[in-house]
Amino acid sequence: MPSPPVDTPTPTRWHHDAVTHARQHSPQVVAHRGASEDAPEHTLAAYRKAIEDGADALECDVRLTADGHLVCVHDRRVNRTSNGRGAVSALELAELAALDFGSWKNRDEEPDWEHRPEDREATSVLTLERLLELIADAGRRVELAVETKHPTRWAGQVEERLLHLLKRFGLDSPATAQESPVRVMSFSARSLHRMRAASPTLPTVYLMQFVSPRLRDGRLPAGVRIAGPSIRIVRNHPAYVERLKRAGHQVHVWTVNEPEDVDLCVELGIDAIITNRPRAVLHQLGR
């Protein structure tokens, strides 16, 4: 087999180059639904683990309960991640609190975090308020990326409640977007517009599963400064990242779990890597 050309990186050299670039570029490592490979997603256990692992930021999805509480649940219904059934929007917080959001996780794959059956809070439904309290007590700066889910029966009320809660923690009106420890993400440009109108300095992220033809040149919805493409977009259209960068935007990519995808993100100068495996990604980046 002929030797590769001198300027073609072998996998080992590619990884070395990526780590060197990562140390210089320092992409933020964001724990997707907490350390969700290790612990049940969106539980206090998953977020505690992510903080212990050194994640720079935490990502959560929020939905509004029937009695007006924001809870960290991805799906419209609780069927997949709990022992209950029904739509989050049709259940009150007390009903959700009675459910088990942890036992669905495969016990055979349970990692080194200690699950104590008596500590029900660790795998109970998690409110955004409780997550904000956890971050406030972290002892270091841990940022938060909050995704609003759409469509929803509570049009506009999710954003209103989110801003009210952020205000309680003094996080609703940062002096500048760069200083804010919280950002709001959504696939809905309308949701981001509502957030920007109410709090112009709160950073927003436009999530995308595909690139709209009208945005292929690197533009984003008005007022949005951070793009949130999927790793599939980044793999298939790396030049799109370059166009976003030329337009002055940051790029936060989801959900990046494979080592080769981490290397690609580093090579492209991605600003934030959203992953279910924060500890492994940090290790790969040499941090």
Neighbours of 29 (CB within 10 A): 27
CA distance 205 to 224: 6
32 catalytic per annotation: yes
The pair of three-digit structure tokens given for residue 125, joined into one six-digit string: 């439904």
CA distances from 283 to 54, 211, 257, 262, 279 (A): 10, 31, 13, 11, 6
The pair of three-digit structure tokens given for residue 31, joined into one six-digit string: 């724990």
CA distance 202 to 197: 10
CA distances from 171 to 56, 102, 136, 167, 229 (A): 17, 30, 11, 6, 25
Candidate list 32, 42, 249, 252, residue with the active-site label: 32
Contact 215, 247 (CB under 8 A): no
Candidate list 42, 74, 249, 252, residue with the active-site label: 74
Residue 144 has φ and ψ, to the nearest 5°, of -135, 130
In Å, the largest CA–CA distance within the chain is: 68
74 catalytic per annotation: yes
CA distances from 149 to 81, 139, 225 (A): 16, 30, 20
Would you call the peptide bond into 213 cis, given omega within 30 degrees of 0 as the criterion? no
The amino acid at residue 123 is T
Q: Strand locations in the chain, DSSP E?
A: 28-32, 57-64, 70-71, 143-148, 182-186, 204-208, 226-229, 250-253, 272-275
Q: Which residues are catalytic?
A: 32, 74
